[in-house]
Amino acid sequence: MWEKLQAIWRVKEVRNGLLFVLGMMILFRFTAHIPLPGIDLVQLQRYFEANQVLGLLNLFSGGTIKNFAVVALGVAPYITASIILQLLTMIIPRLEEIQKEGEQGQQRINQWTRLLTIPLAIIQSFGLIQLLKQSQFPILTSSDTLHLVTLIATVTAGTVFLMWIGELISEKKVGNGVSLLITAGILANLPTALSQMLATYDSSQIFTYVVYALVMAVTIVGVVFITEGQRNIPVQYARQSSSTGGVMTSLPLRVNMSGVIPIIFAISILLFPTVVAQFFIHAKTAWVANAATWIVNIVQNQTVYGILYFSLVVIFTFFYTTVVFHPEQVAENLQKQGGFIPGIRPGKPTADYLQSIINRLNLIGALFLGGIAVLPLIIQGFSGSKNIAIGGTSLLIVVSVIIECVKQVESQLTMREYDAY
């Protein structure tokens, strides 16, 4: 471990990249503590304590909504825009063709994602403000039009600012910027959560604390196991290949290629109908108010929430793997390089074989990932603690993001070693 840290410090590019990321994290947490004017933070805290859905929304935003800071929405609009563009890519053939254009096509998709983030941030900030206005707590001390427009413009600008920071972090190739911002928000809330747990410590609940610690350990081990697990497909290159003639190598296929993205997608989908329903709970039309109340109650039901959460994690694991891994392209590239899988004919049979392997790996990875996601909910059913469900999701995101960052840093070090030779 110390050798790795020394190697990181010796390599100027990696060292500067990590220091830059650390600086951006400090800047992010600084802006997360600049509250917007006209907000009663005491009443806001009470509202969050009474609403579990807003607790998940706070987690999704990176812990910024709870303070209602200038970056209150966090990177949630950017993630929503990414989800929309990726769904449209699978539906619209023209977008799929643009995505296959390589780096240039990906830059166009990214630019459209940035542009879509702005109207989504305006809509979400307006919806969040209206949600606070309709709450039973006097959160907004001023509700005139100019003040509301100022709040929406400030929150939207904060989202664009975080989107820019996230992309700057990603350019340093030490981790995904958006995931790191969410992780920073989760870790920043850890001291507060621990202090609250110690303040309310009860010796009669020692068994609950022990079980919770075991759940955390199982979650960490499970995430590491799935993230590091892979299936190596043997590949033989023909002797006439000038670059790799006669060499036997392998094609690694990971059990979970999508990382933490399915968790983020699942949370966003679960939050959307619930947040929308919150607007209509006090509607004058009886059936609208009843329908909104029913939706909120359904999602807050731990059994229904667990089933939906598990199902969405599984679905998005398959979906995102389909987006990032294309067996046809891999098979085509192998054939162009004179490579083939022993016992499998090149071309379409190779693509079909790779697809069948990916489907089996995805099934294992998705079920395991979904199981880890709902495991804290099962423990919550026995202990009655509301913090465990959120803590389990947070732990899942943090561990996955840290593993991704460590692997990217290691790849940077390996590349520098090759350059030295």
pLDDT in tens, 146-197: 888 888 999 999 999 999 999 899 888 888 888 888 888 878 777 776 776 6
Residue 264 tokens read as 């983020």
Q: Tell how strand 230-237 and strand 248-254 pair up.
A: antiparallel
Residues 198-218 have a mean pLDDT of: 72
pLDDT value, residue 377: 73
Q: How far apart are the first and last CA of the chain?
A: 23
Q: Is residue 78 part of a domain?
A: yes
Is pLDDT at 110 greater than 70 in this prediction? Answer: yes
pLDDT value, residue 212: 75
Q: How confident is the model at residue 209 (pLDDT cuts 50, 70, 90)?
A: confident
Beta strands across the sheet bearing 248-254 = 248-254, 230-237, 339-340
pLDDT value, residue 326: 82
The residue that leads in pLDDT, 5 or 84, is: 84
Q: How confident is the model at residue 116 (pLDDT cuts 50, 70, 90)?
A: very high
Q: Is residue 193 part of a domain?
A: no
Q: Is residue 198 part of a domain?
A: no
Q: Considering 188, 213, 231, which residue would you say is the last residue of a domain?
A: 188
Residues 245 and 374 in one domain: yes
Q: How confident is the model at residue 389 (pLDDT cuts 50, 70, 90)?
A: very low
Residues 211 and 149 in one domain: no
pLDDT value, residue 165: 92
Residues paired with residue 233 on neighbouring β-strands, in sequence order: 251
Q: Could you give the CA distance from residue 251 to residue 292 in angstroms, rounded to a whole number?
A: 50
Residues 383-390 have a mean pLDDT of: 54
Q: How confident is the model at residue 344 (pLDDT cuts 50, 70, 90)?
A: confident
pLDDT value, residue 160: 93
Q: Is residue 197 part of a domain?
A: no
Residues 231-257 have a mean pLDDT of: 73
- pLDDT cut 70: percent of the chain above it: 86
Report for 73-77, 190-194, 351-355, 379-383: range of highest mean pLDDT? 351-355
Residues 297 and 212 in one domain: yes
Residues 273 and 414 in one domain: yes
Q: Could you give the CA distance from residue 49 to residue 54 in angstroms, rounded to a whole number?
A: 9
Residues 174 and 241 in one domain: no
Q: Could you give the CA distance from residue 65 to residue 72 in angstroms, rounded to a whole number?
A: 4
Q: How confident is the model at residue 56 (pLDDT cuts 50, 70, 90)?
A: low
Residues 266-284 have a mean pLDDT of: 75
Q: What is the CATH number of the domain that holds 223?
A: 1.10.3370.10
CA 368 from centroid of its chain's CA atoms: 17
Residues 43 and 157 in one domain: yes
Residues 209 and 77 in one domain: no
Q: Give residue 72's domain range.
A: 1-188
Q: Is residue 34 part of a domain?
A: yes
Is pLDDT at 241 greater than 50 in this prediction? Answer: no
Q: Considering 129, 161, 188, which residue would you say is the last residue of a domain?
A: 188
Q: Which helix (H) or strand (E) holds 311?
A: helix 302-324
Q: Is residue 64 part of a domain?
A: yes
Q: Is residue 315 part of a domain?
A: yes
Report for 14-28, 286-300, 399-413: range of highest mean pLDDT? 14-28
pLDDT value, residue 384: 61
How many independent structural domains does the chain possess? 2
Average pLDDT taken over every residue of the chain: 79
- State the SS3 of 368-392: HHHHHHHHHHHHHHHHCCCHHHHHH
Residues 270 and 154 in one domain: no
Residue 305 tokens read as 């929430």
Residues 98 and 214 in one domain: no
Is pLDDT at 244 greater than 50 in this prediction? Answer: no
Cβ(59)–Cβ(51) below 8 Å: no
Cβ(366)–Cβ(318) below 8 Å: yes
CA 28 from centroid of its chain's CA atoms: 17
Q: How confident is the model at residue 204 (pLDDT cuts 50, 70, 90)?
A: low
Report for 27-31, 139-143, 226-230, 253-257: range of highest mean pLDDT? 27-31
Is pLDDT at 242 greater than 50 in this prediction? Answer: no
Q: What is the pLDDT of residues 355-371, one digit of tens each?
A: 999 999 888 888 888 88
pLDDT value, residue 11: 77
Tokens 């989504």 belong to residue: 120
Residues 179 and 240 in one domain: no
Q: Considering 188, 213, 244, which residue would you say is the last residue of a domain?
A: 188
Residues 183 and 229 in one domain: no
Residues 10 and 86 in one domain: yes
The amino acid sitting at 335 is Q
Q: Is residue 53 part of a domain?
A: yes
Is pLDDT at 263 greater than 50 in this prediction? Answer: yes
